[in-house]
Structures are given as structure tokens and as C-alpha cells.
Amino acid sequence: MTDALQFLFAGLVIGSIYGLAGIGFTAVYNVTGVVNFAQGDFAMLGAMLAIAMMAVGTPMIVAIVLAIIVVALLGGVIERLAIRPASQTVIRGIIITIGLGVLLQGVAVVLWDSNPKSLPAFSGETPINVLGATLPPQSIWVVGTAVVLMVALHFFFQRSYLGKAFRACAVNPFAARLVGVRVPTMASISFMLSGALGAVAGIIVTPIALMQYDSGIGIGIKGFIACIIGGFGHPIGAAIGGLMLGVIEAFSAGYLSSGYKDAIAFILLLGFLFARPEGIMGEMEKAQH
Amino acid sequence: MWRIGAFTLLIVALWFVENNYVLNLLVVIALQTMSALGLSLLMGYTGQISLGHAAFYGLGAYGSALISMRLGLNPWLSIFAATAIVAGIGWSLGWLVFRLRGHHLAMATLAFGVIVYVGFVELHDLTGGPNGLQDVPIFTVLGTFLDSDRLIYPLAWGACILTIVLAHNLVHSPKGLSMRSVAENERVAASLGQDVSALKRQILMLSAAWAAFAGGIWAHYLGYLSPNPFDVGFSIKLLVMVAIGGFANIWGVLFGVAFVTILGQLLKPFGFYDVVIYGLLLVIVMVFFPNGLLDGLVTLARSAVSGLRGARA
């Protein structure tokens, strides 16, 4: 029983990260129709930047905020230079963002070599005991940050003027343009938002799981799987999908074998793609194009 | 057709190069061209995407190696057996994945690639796990082992040129036109009486078979196998090659394979910079040269020449 609880907690922690990555995908996809395959590399880059700035003596909180801002700006630059000029067919969008991901990995490995790196935990290393399972304090930070961000984003999309403009672009970009929404500006902002979300996810998970130049691939792919489980284009679906995926992975790693962990995530993905491609919350039509 | 003749003569001439490094590079180019051409038929000509093509290459290599080792079959037979099995896998995978399109298809094929790779690493009893398989039987002809670059070269390039001829004939046949119509607009193709799903499955089967055959040659030439060359990175590399070649362009794909392979060799001394270059190249080609690097450079050169002429006049 204690084992099960331990796996459940571990799953919720990693699931929060997948959920954040999934929401990053959703933000970009809803506005631009592009699935940003470099999403996970934003997470890697955020963590690496924070680590690099701390290494030259920047206080932790400053380094973290700066890293998030830099990755957000980079997201905007990428949208302007690589996404907007290319006419949007699905396959080209996929290949361009794969190329961007490879490029970011290349830059990271050239700047910071290929060794795994870590950040200090935000509030010490003393484990917390919950019903017989032990939790590092950082896991509270991860789940807490994820929950706060998800709730904040929900209100942003539902209540704020900008959030409503975002959703208008998702429903019908042409109609949104007719009523005065600047769709290209929204596309830029969506990439900046997903950059910031990615960077936050990468930074909060690094004290628990080490970060290296290619760690982003896994985060990105799992975030995408979270989106498909939850229903593509649904921020809440992505969050739920991420948590489900994290928990299932943690249990299969605990009870079966950690080597098969990745295969199980992908078998889950295939299962959803074939049995319920619209996900838990999505509509069928979205899965068909 | 004259191009294929001229190209064959060039390949025969290159066989006499007294340099094992060059020969080895050419063998690698031949095998990767076979896989990349299959991907080009699927992506360029039929408009579908596969991010798991390395799996077919790997299944062909492991399949042929295991059949020859466990069942004691001659490599010349096991490679055909493995190719047939992988073709069957490709065809059945088509039943599953072609219910999906676009991003979902990309992810489903990526999932296939990752699951197969995890299988290579984790099924220790069968594949030897991360250490791989040792002592894979080598091809023999009349008692001579094809164990050098010079001896495997005719087999690799013979198979590759055969693939080029087949691909050339296919895209110029009525079937090729059907493929292009599916790439342009599936609904229109279906309304004109094309069985779109069956066509996609057939192309996936064909491209799986080509990759598997190339993988089989690789396995029996090297004599050992490990999972690493068959990871998702290789699927992406094939994608880069096809993208640089301009997707629906057979000679372009050959150029793409040669370009990426030779670039990889040139960048080797600079350590990890090759990753930066691959990524940059992929983005630049996709954004600015959607018809491939060769086509883009030719267009640039032409407009530069006409610009010069215009300046003189």
C-alpha cells in the first residue's frame, strides 16, 4: 500500500510536468494550428539558462525569472522568423518545429556540454512523510506551481479580454480577424506563452530529475500524449491527460520494469488514437484533420 | 532512363577507387538511399508522414540477423524472409495508422518507432539488449565472404539502383498519378474512384520493405548489431534527407542522402556542432526552399544570372 502511494505521488509530480507541457502545446495549436514539436526543448532551455546564470553568481530567483523571460522572448522570435514566413501545411509545420527542436538541442550541447545538470531544491532536501510515503519538498513545489498556473490560465482564457481573443482565433481565425483581432500578434503571444510555460516546467522539475541537452524530447512527447489523451486543444484536458499519463507511467515503472516505461506511454497513446482519437474532452472533428 | 544509365556507369567507375573510407561512405549512402526513397514515396508522392521509419530499417536488420542465427538459414534467404515479414508489418500498421491524419499520424508513427526501439533494447533474450547481437553471419558468394567495403559495394549499389528504377517506374505509372492525387486532395481522389486507404497501405508496405532490405544488408555486412542506430534520431535524419531532396524528387533524395552523409563526416571533428547544423539546415530548407535544397540553389543561381544580365542591358 505504501508502495502504491509512493508511485501515485511520483506519478502526480511528473504528470504535472507533462500537463504543463501539454498546455503549452494547446496554447500554440489553438491559435496557429501548428503542433510545436520543440515544446519540450523550451523546458530544457529554461532549466539550462537558469543553471547557467546561477553558475555565474546570479541569485536563484533572479536567474529563474530571467530564464523564463528569455525563453518566452525566444518563442516570439521563433514564431516571427520560422513559423510565420512558411505557408502552413501540417507536414511543413511538423518538420520546421522538429528542426527548431534539434537546433535548440544543438545550441544547448555546444554551450553547456552533454552532462546532466541540476538546480538546488527550492526549499531544502528534508523529505516530508505523508501516510508512510516520503516526498521531497520540491514535489510540493512542482504540483503547486502546476495547479496555480493551470487555474490562472483557465481564468485567463475564460475571463480576460486577451484570453477571449485567443479563443476566437482558435474557433475561427478569419472571423476573429474580421472583428478586429490581430491574428499574427496572437500567434506571437501564443508562442511566448508556450515558451514561458515550457521554461517554468523545465525549471521546477530540474531539482528532482536532472536536465541535459536532450531531456526536452521526452518532456515534449509526453506533453503531446497528454494532449491526445485529454482531447487536443483543451487546456483542462491536457492537464488531466498529463496527470493520468504520469500516474500510469509511475505504476508501470514500479510494478513492471522502468525500461518499458516509454513503451507503455506510447501504447497508451496508440490506444487513445485508435479507440478515442478525440480524447477525453475533445470533439471528433478535430482528430480528423 | 539515360540518367539511370549514366548514374550506373558513375557508380561502377567509383567502385575502382582505391580508398576504403570513400567506399565505406558510398555503401552507407546506398543503404540509406533505399530507406529514404521509400520515405519519399510515402511523404513526397503520397502526402503522408512517418516519424518511425528507422523501425523498419531496424526490424529488417534484426529480423534477418535473427532468422539466420536462430534458424540457421543462409543470409541470402533470411534477408528475403525478413523483408517479407517487415513488409507485412508495414501493411498491417497501415490498417491502424491511416485512420489518422496530420499531427496524429505523425505521433502514431513516432510511437511505433519508439515502441520498436524499446523492444530492441529490452528484449534481452532475443536481441541481446543494449549490447546487441554478435557474430551475425556474413554474406558469402562461392565460398568468399563479402566482408569488405569493396565486396559489399556491388550488392548495396545493385539493390539501390534497382530501388531507384522501381521508384522511377512507380511514380511515372498510373499508380504514381493516383499517389499524387491522394497527396493533393484525398477526398477528390476518393471521389474519382481511388481506394485511398488501400493505396496508402501499399506504399507503406513498399517503403517498409525497402528499408528492411537495406537494414538486412547492413546487418550481414557489419556482422554485429546494437539498438542505437535504429532510434528516433535516425528517423529524423531520414526526414532531413528527404526534406533536403525536395520530398517528391527521386534524384533530389539521392542528393539529400549524399549531402547529409558527407556533411556528417565533415562535421565530425567539430563534435556536437553537427546537431546545430542539422537543425538549422532543416529549418532553412523548409522555410525558404520547400522544393529542396538542390532546386532552391538552382533557382537562386538562375535569378542571380538573369539579374546580372538585366544589369548589363
DSSP A192-206: HHHHHHHHHHHHHHT
* pLDDT band for position B88 (cuts 50, 70, 90): very high
CA distance A56 to chain B (A): 24
Give the residue-averaged pLDDT of B258-282: 83
Closest Cα in chain A, distance from residue B230 (Å):
15
The amino acid occupying position B201 is: R
What does the H/E/C string look like for A45-85? HHHHHHHHHHHCCCCHHHHHHHHHHHHHHHHHHHHHHHHCC
- Tally DSSP H helices, then E strands, for chain B: 14, 2
Q: Where are the beta strands (DSSP E) in chain A?
A: 128-130, 133-135
**pLDDT at residue B44 greater than cutoff 60:** yes
Q: Cβ distance A253 to B116 under 8 Å? A: no
A243's grid cell = 496527470
Task: Give B290's contacts in chain A (Cβ within 8 Å).
Answer: 86-87, 92
A207 with A13: CB under 8 angstroms? Answer: no
H or E element at residue B29: helix B20-40
Q: Phi/psi at B133 (nearest 5 deg)?
A: -105, 130
What radius of gyration, in Å, describes the C-alpha atoms of chain B? 20
- Cα torsion for A55, A59, A61, A67, to the nearest 10°? -40
For residue B64, the model assigns a pLDDT of: 94
B216 pLDDT band, cuts 50/70/90, is very high
The average pLDDT across B74-91 equals: 94
A128-130 and A133-135 beta bridge pairing = antiparallel
Per-window interface: A 46-105 vs B, CB < 8 A: 82, 85-87, 90-92, 94-96, 98-105
Using DSSP bridges, classify how beta strands B140-141 and B144-145 pair: parallel, antiparallel or unpaired: antiparallel
Determine the pLDDT at residue B312.
63
Alpha-carbon distance of A13 to A16, in angstroms, equals 5
Strand partners, A135: A128
Give the whole-angstrom CA distance, residue B24 versus residue B55.
Answer: 23
Could you give the C-alpha distances from A282 to A158, A234, A244, A246, A287, in angstroms and in order?
A: 17, 7, 16, 20, 8
The dihedral through the CA atoms of A167, A171, A174, A176 has a sign that is: negative
Amino acid identity for residue B111 in this structure = A
B residues 213-242 lying closer than 8 A (beta carbon) to A: 232, 236, 239-240
ipTM for the whole predicted complex goes beyond 0.90:
no
Joined together, the cell numbers standing for residue A76 give: 516570439
Amino acid at A106: G
pLDDT band with cut points at 50, 70 and 90 for residue B313:
low
Please give the average per-residue pLDDT across B84-93, as a whole number: 95
What is the rounded average pLDDT of the residues B264-289?
83
Residue type, A112: W
Q: For residue A282, which residues of chain B lie inside 8 Å, CB to CB?
A: none
B96, B273, B280 ranked by CB distance to A274: nearest: B96
Question: Of A208, A211, A187, whose CA–CA distance to A40 is shortest?
Answer: A211
Which one, of B206, B185, B207, lies nearest residue B196 by Cα? B185
CA angle B146/B149/B151 to nearest 5° reads: 40
The position carrying cell 482564457 is: A157
Task: Give the Cβ contact number of residue B310 at 10 Å.
Answer: 9
So what's the pLDDT on residue B194? Answer: 86
C-alpha cell belonging to residue A121: 531544491
Look up the pTM and report it. 0.86
Percent of chain B as helix, strand, coil, to the nearest 5: 80, 0, 20
Residue range B119-137, pLDDT digits in tens: 899 888 888 888 889 888 8
Give me the amino acid identity at A37. Answer: F
CA separation for the pair A51, A207 (Å, rounded): 11
Closest CA to A227 of A215, A239, A218: A239
Spatial distance between the Cα atoms of B178 and B173, rounded to a whole number of angstroms: 9
Closest CA to B69 of B228, B225, B229, B213: B225
Cα–Cα distance, A257 to B102 (Å, whole number): 32
Supply B165's cell numbers.
Answer: 528504377
Burial of B16 (0-12, 13-18, 19+ CB in 10 A): exposed
Contacts with A, B 82-121, CB within 8 Å? 96, 99-104, 106-108, 110-112, 114-115, 118-119, 121
Band of residue B298 on the pLDDT scale cut at 50, 70, 90: confident
Q: CB under 8 Å to A227, separation ≥6 — which residues?
A: A22, A25, A26, A29, A233, A237, A238, A241, A279
Averaged pLDDT of chain B: 89
Average pLDDT over residues B273-296: 84
CA distance B99 to B144: 48
Overall average pLDDT of the B227-233 stretch: 87
DSSP A123: T
Residue A72, CA distances (Å) to A45, A47, A170 in order: 11, 13, 21
What per-residue confidence (pLDDT) applies to B272? 74
Query: Residue B304 — very low, low, confident or very high, per pLDDT cuts 50/70/90?
Result: confident
Residues 238-297 of B with CB under 8 A from A: 239-240, 243, 271-283, 286-288, 290
Say which DSSP state B142 is in. Answer: T
Mind listing the pLDDT tens digit of every residue in chain A (289 residues)?
A: 678 888 888 899 999 999 999 988 888 888 888 888 899 999 999 999 999 999 998 899 999 999 999 999 999 999 988 888 876 677 888 888 988 998 999 899 889 888 898 888 888 777 888 777 788 888 888 999 999 998 888 888 888 988 888 888 878 888 888 988 888 889 899 999 999 999 999 999 999 888 988 888 888 888 988 988 888 778 888 888 999 999 999 888 888 877 777 778 888 888 887 787 777 776 544 444 4
DSSP B236-252: HHHHHHHHHHTSS-HHH
Tell me how close the Cα of A264 comes to any Cα of chain B, in angstroms: 8
* Residues of chain B contacting A92 with CB distance shorter than 8 Å: 286, 290
CB B238 within 8 A of CB B34: no
CA-based nearest residue to B43, from B194, B167, B214: B167
- Average pLDDT value for residue range B84-113: 89
Place B86 in a pLDDT band, splitting at 50, 70 and 90.
very high
Query: Which alpha helices (DSSP H) does B71-131 contain, by range?
Result: 75-97, 102-122, 124-127
What pLDDT is recorded for position A284? 42
Cα gap A171→A166, rounded to integer Å = 9
Q: What is the pLDDT of residue B205?
A: 96
Interface test with B, best of A90, A95, A268 (most B CBs within 10 A): A95
Give the Cβ contact number of residue A148 at 10 Å.
Answer: 10
